[in-house]
A and B are shown apart, each in its own frame.
Chain A
Amino acid sequence: MGKTIVEKIFQRHSKEEVKPGNIIWLDLDVRTARDFGGANVVKHLKKNYSGNYLENAEKTYFTFDLSVPAKTIKYAINQQICRKFSKETGMNLFDVDEGIGTHVLMEKGIVMPGSTAVGTDSHYNILGAIGAFGQGMGDTDIAFAFKTGKTWFEVPETMKINVTGGYKWPASPRDLTLAVMKKLGSSGMLGMAAEYYGYAIEKLSIDGRITLASQTTEMGGIIAFISPNKEVLDFIGKRTGRSVKGVYADRDASYVKEVDVDVENLEPMVASPPKPTNVCPVSDIEGMEIDSVFIGSCTNGKYEDMLAAAKILKGRKVKKGINLRITPATKEVWAMVIKEGLVDIFIDAGAVVFTNPGCGGCAEGMPGLVGESEIELSTTNRNYKGKQGPGEIYLVSPATAAASAVKGCLTSPDSLEVKN
């Protein structure tokens, strides 16, 4: 019997027999904590052990991305605890200037296809975008991973998602992602690994793959892999400085189920509160009045997302009374947006706040919060009640977000002419 991607990656990182349902000990290539959870990881290590806290300092990282720079004293103190621990142990640290941890790991070639990585971020499975295994965990788990370089894991079953057909503007990778979420619902991937296949998937850029992978947790999934194509392998190869190979499923691999999602003629989609899987076409509620707009986060904070917004905003103004906040995912994206002149477009559009790279409002650490009964269109990954303030969050693509900011109400991007 052949193996699925998760089974192959696990087998390379475990001495035990890898088959679904078995609990194995998994060797971890990368382990991280961030400014949320990091201080607790240090606390657990100091409480439970007397020195020699890290199995391998070189493979261990802090990545600060939630409150960057720290906006409260508590965050500042927690970050300082991590900085001090990093100096004491020699482990790596990416400070408040770098951006979202999982993105930084990909940009800097620290994870590659086939890697195993864990961190205190429930969206760690975003690493499936490049065919790596990533898993978010609590601070107890991560402290144990720092100390031992291992974790226990129940081998998940794998499901196959066949994305059929092709889509074109004004639909985007985020709309494809929302279409998958509509089909699977909040527990359609519960406890499972997934693999995506199909023409539209192969065509996805790295940024688009990140968008799709970033919503795995919202469907209950452990990890969802997008097999790397040449573009992904070339990118990672360049970043790691060596040639890399992807991990691909065997032809006779066994899947627990298969689901088809058709994206032919895909329309722009929107997820209404309180669930990210509460999805309908934008056209169903087009015209809904809005108060504010946010573009950014681990789901849509890449250069491609910034460019999609800039193409809409070029030569236009954000409607009076609406504020638009834009937060790039990483310093690299931030620099490109400035260098390529996109930030000039944003400023000319008025009412735009362009911030330091990071997570945005997802854990109340950065700009991107909404007031009571305020309606916000957002490209973040969750619209749970109270997640980004007491208001109502609707999840959309960057193009839909930007077009709606111009019109002052929810609208499809093709209601505006796009200038390249």
Chain B
Amino acid sequence: MKPAVIKGRIWLITDENGKRLDDIDTDMIFHNRYLHITEVSEMGKHALGNLEGWKDFPDKAKEGDIIIAGKNFGAGSSRQQAVDCFISLGIRAIVAESFGAIYKRNAINSGLAVLECPGIFEKELKSRDVIEIDLETGSIKKDKIEVAKTKPMSDVQMEIYRAGNLFEYGKLMGRQ
């Protein structure tokens, strides 16, 4: 079972002036031209490959990192690769001001933890800081001090995440 508390290094998705980037769509996260790739292990090297200033993200990211994103992160298409490319890099969680609806579903069903935290960009956080997020309480801490508190994942979302993915959850619950 996956842990409810995740600790990791963060990346704030901003422009070159440090300004929050909203409406990052699935084409910026995982471009059309790589949609033929079906192996998750091959997807990581294209993560954020169409987002100005972030093309080197796959080289910078490390296993266990956490992404902090702006509003409507993952707008656009239903492509699973836009989630799987982060799983491929070992990203543990995404905390965003808000998510595109389909993107959020895809992340939860693939076992990638997500928290919606309006105002997260107003907190004293910078890339490479280490934070701790509790998916069950919605608490976000830095140096053991709570910097934000938000709505936690729901029971079903938490159960799917803990089981590993939607398929494993379905088997556990005898729903199939």
Contacts and interface: CB of A to CB of B under 8 A. Distances in A.
Interface of A: 23, 25, 36-37, 39-40, 43-44, 48-49, 72, 74-75, 78, 120-122, 124, 135-141, 143-144, 147-148, 150, 152, 154, 186-187, 190-191, 217-218, 220-222, 275, 363-364, 382, 384-387
Contact of A138 (B36, B75, B78, B176): B78
8 contacts: A37-B80, A152-B156, A190-B72, A217-B76, A222-B101, A386-B31, A386-B32, A387-B32
B53 to A, nearest CB: 13
Given A148-B175, A385-B27, A74 B98 contact: no
B110 interface: yes
A139 B72 CA distance: 21
A40 B36 CA distance: 10
B155 interface: yes
A147 B80 contact: no
Nearest to A45: B167
Given A37-B78, A220-B75, A386-B50, A141 B166 contact: yes
Nearest to A143: B167
Contact of B109 (A25, A140, A222): A140
Interface string B95-116: 0001011100110011000000
Interface in B111-127: none
A36 B30 CA distance: 14
B80 A138 contact: yes
Given A44-B167, A138-B105, A386-B50, A186 B78 contact: no
Contacts, number: 119
Contacts of A122: 76-78, 102
Interface residues of B, number: 40
Contacts of A135: 102
Contacts of B165: 140
Contact of A187 (B80, B98, B102, B160): B98
B25 to A, nearest CB: 5
A140 B154 contact: no
A144 B27 contact: no
Contacts of B156: 23, 152
A384 B80 contact: no
A23 B154 contact: yes
Given A191-B98, A275-B23, A384-B28, A138 B83 contact: yes
A218 B102 CA distance: 12
A49 B79 CA distance: 22
A261 to B, nearest CB: 21
A187 B103 CA distance: 14
A60 to B, nearest CB: 14
A138 B155 CA distance: 21
Contact of B100 (A25, A48, A141, A220): A220
Contacts of B105: 137-138, 141
